[in-house]
Amino acid sequence: MNEQGLKNLNELWKSGTDFLGTKYAIMGGAMSWLSESNLVSAISNAGGFGVIACGSMTPDLLSKVIVETQAKTKKPFGVNLITMHPDIDALIDKTLEHNVKFVVLAGGIPTGDSIKRIKEGGAKVICFSPALILAKKLIRSGADALVVEGSEAGGHIGPVSTSVLAQEILPHITDVPVFVAGGIGRGEVMASYMKMGASGAQLGTMFVCAEESIAHENFKKMFMRGNARDAVTSVQIDKRFPVIPVRALKNAASIEFMDVQREVINKYQSGELEMLAAQLEIEHYWAGALKRAVIDGDVENGSVMAGQSVGMVKKIQPISEIMDNLVEQAAEQLA
């Protein structure tokens, strides 16, 4: 590895590594069903920062996963909580109870109360920001760090690309670390964002086919066959009923999602469901469809969430190897 390049890299992401307490400022994206104790601990043990995906877990199940992760790594890791989860306060309390020092809040704008609750419990808060105005608001609300995630990412996405968000936000946010995410598949791109002012990067898709990933063999095979054009966003069928788009590989489940939306919209219009409950029902569809693909291996009727960097995933390899490759590429770029 190029020594000068590595020295430059370590200087560029120092604010990120100091904040996370890690060797590398590389966060693992929280992926439901995948970001459990095996993958999270492997990312942390390899020098990165693993993040448990709470998703729709109950507080007791989250507690179990945290304990399992702590048994597998002594390195720092975080817990990703969905802000619209009905048990958000209980999930925060359970996370703090286990002395987890980082909470990542996703899936909507977190309340000031949630941020305050986490900080008073002794943990740091990382928030997602899809716009500069929101980034500033989150910092005023107490966010300790931000993740800027573009539309190239897998799973739930916003409408703006990573490169545009980075240009919009990085030059103006210097008081907290900012991690860039979405479509990152090589170290050179990480290096370029850090030269723009990022403190590190977050990757998800690149870790799905790791040896330590519990994803079904069929899921991994579909990933390794996929390319950027196969990773498409879900279609919203009614503008009166906004749905956060989800990026996944094209299959039968992509079509079924439109039928699910129609059913939920009908329930909402008939007064059977309120808006929040309707949104949660959509979330439950994705959680169930994702489990079918990730755990059961039904990649046709399940959701194969993937970012556009999926075309760069070509083999199954250990997390440590993936991480070392990214660092080496970044160091060469910065030499």
Over residues 77-128, the pLDDT tens digits come to: 999 999 989 899 999 999 999 999 999 999 889 999 999 999 999 999 999 9
pLDDT tens for 282-330 read 777 877 899 999 999 999 999 999 999 999 999 999 999 999 999 999 9
Q: Which CATH architecture has domain 3-214+312-334?
A: Alpha-Beta Barrel (3.20)
0.75 surpassed by pTM: yes
Residue 196: DSSP 8-state: T
For residue 296, what is the enclosing H or E element?
none
Residues of the chain with CATH 3.20.20.70: 3-214+312-334
Task: Measure the CA–CA gap between 330 and 335, rounded to whole angstroms.
Answer: 9
Residue 241 has pLDDT above 70, yes or no: no
Side-chain half-sphere of 113: how many Cα atoms within 13 Å? 4
Rounded distance between C-alpha atoms, residue 197 and residue 163, angstroms: 13
Model pLDDT, residue 276: 80
Residue of 36, 26, 44 whose CA lies nearest to 67: 36
Out of 43-47, 53-57, 276-280, give the one with best mean pLDDT.
Answer: 43-47
Q: How many residues does the chain have?
A: 335
* Amino acid of residue 100: V
